[in-house]
């Protein structure tokens, strides 16, 4: 078994400790270049893809690095059309990707927003800009497919978040 297969098995596990180990930032450093083989192994496992998308919703400051690593992995995965379609097909994926976007102020379209649990807003050192960039990058890659654009448009609260990034402050 190679290291990538081991990480994929950990992510597919029911144990939260094993899942954390599978996406641990240091664990993926050995194949940081995300070779095609690595992306293929991760992208062909639907349970692993679902688990990664689910991990985007983690918002505790102690999970910041793991969430960031997960977003980076999904960003790399969505660079391939087949993986992009798989990610978009996961129920709740657009909402999970939307959870990466945060302006630190109330949206001008707050009536259209989903009420979200925000454990990170009071944390001064949380890297919102990194998550915003990764979230927008994932959405950009997903937008290459017309059907994905429709899903983005139908995701409640996503378009106002994207539009808010165009406002000059």
User: In this predicted model, what pLDDT tens digit does every residue of 48-101 receive, in sequence order?
Assistant: 899 999 999 988 888 888 898 889 889 989 998 888 999 999 999 999 999 999
pLDDT at 53: 95
pLDDT at 141: 96
| Per-domain residue ranges of the chain | 3-164
- How many angstroms separate the CA atoms of 83 and 44, rounded? 8
- How many angstroms separate the CA atoms of 132 and 161, rounded? 10
Q: Determine the average pLDDT of the residues in 5-27.
A: 76
For residue 80, the 8-state DSSP code is: S
- How many angstroms separate the CA atoms of 56 and 45, rounded? 17
> What pLDDT digit, counting tens, does each position of 21-57 carry?
777 755 555 555 556 777 788 888 898 899 999 999 9
pLDDT at 158: 94
- How many angstroms separate the CA atoms of 132 and 158, rounded? 12
pLDDT at 103: 76
- How many angstroms separate the CA atoms of 104 and 7, rounded? 34
Q: Cα–Cα–Cα angle for 41, 97, 36, nearest 5°?
A: 20
- How many angstroms separate the CA atoms of 15 and 113, rounded? 32
Tell whether domain 3-164 is in CATH 1.25.40: no
**pTM, entire model:** 0.79
| Residue 53 neighbours by CB distance under 10 Å | 23
- How many angstroms separate the CA atoms of 71 and 134, rounded? 6
pLDDT at 43: 86
pLDDT at 110: 44
| Residue 94 neighbours by CB distance under 10 Å | 24
> What pLDDT digit, counting tens, does each position of 101-142 carry?
987 654 444 444 444 444 454 555 567 889 999 999 999 999
Q: Which residue, among 158, 25, 149, has the nearest Cα to 97 in the 3D structure?
A: 158
């Amino acid at each position: 078994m190679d290291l990538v297969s081991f990480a994929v098995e950990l992510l597919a596990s029911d144990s939260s400790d094993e899942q954390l180990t599978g996406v641990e930032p240091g664990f993926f450093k050995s194949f940081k270049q995300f070779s095609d083989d690595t992306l293929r192994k991760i992208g062909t496992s639907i349970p692993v893809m679902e688990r990664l998308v689910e991990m985007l919703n983690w918002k505790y400051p102690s999970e910041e690095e793991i969430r960031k690593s997960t977003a980076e992995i999904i960003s790399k995965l969505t660079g391939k059309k087949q993986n992009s379609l798989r990610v978009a097909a996961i129920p709740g994926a657009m909402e999970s990707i939307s959870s990466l976007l945060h302006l630190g102020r109330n949206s001008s379209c707050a009536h259209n927003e989903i009420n979200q649990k925000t454990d990170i807003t009071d944390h001064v050192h949380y890297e919102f800009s990194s998550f915003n960039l990764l979230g927008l990058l994932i959405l950009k890659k997903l937008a290459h497919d017309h059907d994905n654009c429709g899903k983005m448009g139908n995701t409640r609260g996503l378009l106002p978040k994207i539009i808010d990034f165009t406002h000059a402050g």
